[in-house]
A = this chain, B = another copy of it.
Amino acid sequence: MFMRIDKLQAALPEPKRADPNAGAALQELLGGKYGEMSTLGNYMFQSFNFRSKSKLRPFYSLVASITAEELGHIELVSNGVAMLNNGPGDQESNADISDAPYADMTKTRLAASFLSNGGGAMPMNSNGVSWNMDFVTTTGNVIIDLLHNFHLECGARIHKLRVYETMTEPTGREVCGYLLVRGSVHAHAYALALKQLTGVAIEKVLPTPNINLDKIPECQKYLQEGSHRRLYRFSTDDYSEMKGIWGNGEMALPGDPPGMLEVVDGYPEGGKISDMAGTYSAFSPDYAPEEMFEIASKLYTASR
């Protein structure tokens, strides 16, 4: 079972203007080959399909718990995409829609994001092609699945680095900075799991690509709070068995601020979810939504 908390894992700054091409680029981190839909899909189905759970508890716990974190990554990237596409919104009721107010949209890279989704995020890549199960590996064999996961997190790192290199808006840069730190944790964790099972010190391949996080200004505050040494349980009562892999005297990677790895109860403090002001002229949440707001206000009062 899964629970939900109405916060993001990291606080995202509000964009000052709509920038749909930046939103489109960020889609690669959502539905691209190495995007968060892929990391989620892999770990989620591996955790569902895991055999001999009781005999392999630390490994099962690791995969199952990271799944929960990945759900928050999907949420974070999706919020980033929607915020970049939306900008400050347009709250003019009774706007004149007959004067081609969105003529510029024919020039954006992913016109369908506006036409079909009103600027919302979708599980697709930066070219507008859908995520699908071809990105999911769940062989049932623990070693192969872990090898895949380790490779996947390295691939996700190059994805994030390159998307970051295209971003000028703080909203998108923050998404990349946060995910680069957390992705490093996951790559490290899968490497340690493989090391336990095979005796091969595969974590020495890290960092791949060959660049430390100290090159990324947006990563620094997360490094300083020790995020790179922490696996959150994202659970109240379960998954503590992953301490046998993450912890157990293992240390942060060379190049990152030093310290011991630790499993942390609960979840990161995170940040507020943007209210995302509506764009009435694009019919989101609707054209002239005042009556709708009034109804909602009454229901809100009734709910208390």
Do A3 and B236 touch (CB < 8 A)? Answer: yes
Return the chain B residue nearest A52 by Cβ: B278
Contacts of A96 in B (CB 8 A): 215
The 8 A CB mask of A80-103 against B (1 = contact, 0 = none) is 001000100100000011101111
**Alpha-carbon distance between A281 and B71 when the two chains are bound, in angstroms:** 30
Contact partner of A107 among B21, B100, B275, B293, CB < 8 A?
B21
The 8 A CB mask of A284-304 against B (1 = contact, 0 = none) is 111111001101111111110
Chain A interface residue bracket vs B: 35 or more
Contacts of A135 in B (CB 8 A): 134
Contacts of A56 in B (CB 8 A): 285, 292-293, 296
**Alpha-carbon distance between A50 and B303 when the two chains are bound, in angstroms:** 20
**Alpha-carbon distance between A6 and B72 when the two chains are bound, in angstroms:** 18
Q: Which of A219-274 contact B (CB under 8 A)?
A: 234-245, 247-248, 267-268, 270, 273
Contact partner of A102 among B151, B166, B247, B267, CB < 8 A?
B166
Taken together, the copies of this chain in the complex come to 6
Does A189 sit within 8 A of B, measured CB to CB? no
Contacts of A124 in B (CB 8 A): 133
Do A200 and B204 touch (CB < 8 A)? Answer: yes
Contact partner of A131 among B48, B82, B132, B237, CB < 8 A?
B132
Does A18 sit within 8 A of B, measured CB to CB? no
Contacts of A150 in B (CB 8 A): 147, 151
**Alpha-carbon distance between A50 and B121 when the two chains are bound, in angstroms:** 10
**Alpha-carbon distance between A195 and B196 when the two chains are bound, in angstroms:** 19
Contact partner of A288 among B32, B211, B237, B241, CB < 8 A?
B211
Contact partner of A89 among B5, B51, B151, B204, CB < 8 A?
B51
Do A4 and B65 touch (CB < 8 A)? Answer: yes
Do A300 and B244 touch (CB < 8 A)? Answer: yes
Do B141 and A147 touch (CB < 8 A)? Answer: no
Given known A31-B133, A134-B134, A202-B200, contact A55–B296 (CB-CB < 8 A): yes
Q: Which of A107, A126, A245 has the most CB of B within 10 A?
A: A126
Do A78 and B4 touch (CB < 8 A)? Answer: no
**Alpha-carbon distance between A284 and B141 when the two chains are bound, in angstroms:** 5
28 A-B residue contacts at CB 8 Å? A1-B4, A2-B4, A2-B5, A3-B5, A5-B235, A5-B236, A31-B133, A33-B134, A48-B78, A48-B120, A49-B117, A49-B118, A51-B277, A51-B278, A52-B285, A55-B296, A97-B164, A97-B165, A102-B166, A117-B138, A122-B133, A131-B132, A143-B154, A143-B286, A208-B286, A209-B286, A211-B288, A241-B299
Contacts A1-B9, A147-B205 known; 13 new A-B pairs at CB < 8 A: A28-B111, A32-B116, A48-B74, A49-B117, A50-B285, A56-B285, A71-B71, A97-B161, A100-B167, A114-B166, A131-B133, A141-B158, A141-B284
